Amino acid sequence: MDQATSLAAVALNDVAITFGSKVGGYTAVSGIDLLVRPGEFVAIVGPTGSGKSTILNAAAGLLKPSAGRVRIFGSDLSNLNLRAGYLFQQDALMPWKTALDNVAVALESKGVSRNDALQRARDWLVRVGLSAFVDRYPHMLSGGQRKRVALAQVLIRDPEILLMDEPFGPLDAQTRQIMGNLLLSLWAADRKAVMFVTHDLEEAIALADRVVLMSAGPAAGIIGDFPVDLPRPRDIAEVRMEPTFHRIHKEIWASLRVEVQKAYSQGEGT
Amino acid sequence: MPRLKLTVLQIGVGLIFLLLWHVLTVYPISGTAKQVQFFFSTPLDVLKRCWTLFASGEIWGHLWITLVETILAFLIGAGGGIIFGFLFARKELLAAVFDPYIKAANALPRVVLAPIFALWFGLGIWSKVALGFTLVFFIVFFNVYQGVREVSPVVLANARMLGMNERQLLRHVYWPSALTWVFSSLHTSVGFALVGAVVGEYLGSSAGLGYKIHEAESVFDVTGVFAGMLILSVFVILIDMLVTRIENRFLVWRPQTSLAART
């Protein structure tokens, strides 16, 4: 194992993932090599069906790769990756728990006492701007508010890696910007390694240090790796006006467009 | 619709039914009033009989017996259903092996079991509890089984990523999810507990509402039968109202729309 791999927060080596039987199965991704360094914010972009979420699930330990190795801080991942926090695209809060309980339970599972957990959960809900909604059940919250609770639920465990699967996908444009800025400000405090999956190229560039581009499926692979040399701290809305932003966007879009068209012509676009 | 208007309409339907019953039995279309009343009684006689049953204090003991049987049948049946529902949902092999037997047992009409239970448990309350149990158990069992199996995969994956172990998953995810299914079946299962108790009493006992109805039937006392049925219905409505209150208390986290649609 070379030094880069052993130091990486997430290291995927020649990873392939096949669903169904070995013979007639569908190979979602293959030959994936990806390193995410500690403190690095990596966005993964690709057309629909390119297996972006699949490699995220492999890094989370929710999916076992059919080939290749997944290493987390140098050690092989054999079970769930509990050093990572996962923010799902869909609503993943427990609907039978209040916002406060949803966040507190994430600490209780670590063995923190209930009173401590409740106290710290309250602090976290303040940090994500939900101090007035602690006792609400998820169905009483808006989509954006539910995402804030989910963010607090993940971050309160202080994971070393953040895995995010189109977390702001279902939200409206304004809420996405607000959530993006919230995420960046929380992330800036202690710079965890982040894998952020999105199909929105602008969102990817605005948030990330590096944008990784995936080809259209099946057997999708990584076809581009673009550094984003925009200064931080950034404002999601303002950074889009920068000339550097446009240069990077143009560069990545040239490759992405080809893949998007491929995906469409395969009838996989929606 | 406003609550008051709805209540007025609901009472109206009952009154019209009673009025029709009264008119048709007091002024019969064919035959004499005495003949018709032998077969159909009259609403006033039935109410009068109910009044004497309560005033003399005779009915209270029977009501109490039926209530105890219903509650025991429900608690034991629901408890068993929850335990086995969880067990089978979590252990694939167990569910697969026992599947045909459970289906066969559930397909059996429970009435045929009543004489056997009377033989095994005697003519006291336990043979009725056993009959109610066989009805309640399967309803709760299937609902818990379904509830545990159909936990949202995203909620489950999220809970696992939050580091919950099997015991914590059970407490924070599987149990609350199954509980919604248990409650959605609660009205049915409480009703079936009562059916089990009353049918059991009807087929062989010396106390309870089912016994009272059977006693009246055996001497062609139609008024007595209707009085027993009326008391039984009111009893069921009262229990159902109680269940609704418990349900609303336990499922506060559910969206209001579905709650409003149910009540």
Q: Is residue B5 part of a domain?
A: no
Three-state SS letters, chain A: CCHHHHHCCEEEEEEEEEECCCCCCEEEEEEEEEEECCCCEEEEECCCCCCHHHHHHHHHCCCCCCEEEEEECCEECCCCCCCEEEECCCCCCCCCCCHHHHHHHHHHCCCCCHHHHHHHHHHHHHHCCCHHHCCCCHHHCCHHHHHHHHHHHHHCCCCCEEEEECCCCCCCHHHHHHHHHHHHHHHHHHCCEEEEEECCHHHHHHHCCEEEEECCCCCECEEEEEECCCCCCCCCCHHHHCHHHHHHHHHHHHHHHHHHHHHHHCCCCC
Count of the separate structural domains present in chain B: 1
Confidence at B29, pLDDT banded by 50, 70, 90: confident
Q: Is residue B22 part of a domain?
A: no
pLDDT of residue B182 exceeding 90, the answer is: no
pLDDT of residue B256 exceeding 80, the answer is: no
pLDDT of residue B3: 87
Q: Is residue B9 part of a domain?
A: no
pLDDT of residue A1: 61
Sheet of A26-36, strands arranged across: A26-36, A10-19, A67-72, A75-76
Interval A21-34: pLDDT, tens: 766 788 888 889 99
Q: Is residue B33 part of a domain?
A: no
ipTM over the 0.95 cut-off:
no
Identity of the residue in A82, A90, A137 whose CB atom sits nearest the CB atom of B163: A82
pLDDT of residue A270: 46
A96 and B253 within 8 Å at the Cβ level: the answer is yes
Matching residue, tokens 């993940």 = A154
The domain in which residue B159 lies consists of 46-262
Q: Is residue B201 part of a domain?
A: yes
To the nearest whole percent, how much of chain B has pLDDT over 90? 54
Q: Is residue B31 part of a domain?
A: no
A94 and B157 within 8 Å at the Cβ level: the answer is no
Interval A79-105: pLDDT, tens: 999 999 999 999 999 999 999 999 999
pLDDT of residue B263 exceeding 50, the answer is: no
Burial A133-160 (b: 16+ CB within 10 A, else e): bbebbbeebeebbbbbbbbbbbbbbebb
Query: In sequence order, what are the beta bridge partners of A71?
Result: A11, A76
Nearest CA distance, A136 vs chain B (angstrom): 9
Burial of B249 (0-12, 13-18, 19+ CB in 10 A): exposed
Nearest residue on chain B to A155, judged by CA atoms?
Answer: B162
Provide the angle, in degrees to the nearest 10, between the axes of the packed helices B114-121 and B186-203.
70
Chain B interface includes A136 (CB < 8 A): no
To the nearest whole percent, how much of chain A has pLDDT over 90? 66
Please give the helix or strand (H or E) that residue B62 lies within, else none: helix B58-90
Average pLDDT, chain B: 89
- A-facing residues of B in 13-72 (CB < 8 A) are none
- Nearest CA to A106 out of A145, A140, A116, B36 is that of A116
| Cα A118 to chain centroid, rounded | 26
Other C-beta atoms lying within 10 Å of the C-beta of residue A180: 22
Q: Is residue B235 part of a domain?
A: yes
Please give the helix or strand (H or E) that residue B54 lies within, else none: helix B43-55
Residues B223 and B48: their CA atoms lie apart, in Å, by: 9
Residues B184 and B238: their CA atoms lie apart, in Å, by: 18
Structure tokens at A244: 């550097």
A80 and B160 within 8 Å at the Cβ level: the answer is yes
Q: Quick one: average pLDDT of B81-107?
A: 90
Identity of the residue in B162, B176, B177 whose CB atom sits nearest the CB atom of A106: B162
CATH of the domain at B87: 1.10.3720.10
Nearest CA distance, A122 vs chain B (angstrom): 18
What are the structural domains of chain A?
3-83+163-265 (3.40.50.300), 90-158 (no CATH)
Chain B interface includes A106 (CB < 8 A): yes
Interval A239-252: pLDDT, tens: 999 999 999 999 99
Interval B131-148: pLDDT, tens: 999 999 999 999 999 888
**Chain A interface, mutation test: which of B150, B156, B158, B250, most A Cβ atoms within 10 Å?**
B158
Residues B254 and B252: their CA atoms lie apart, in Å, by: 6
To the nearest whole percent, how much of chain B has pLDDT over 70? 97
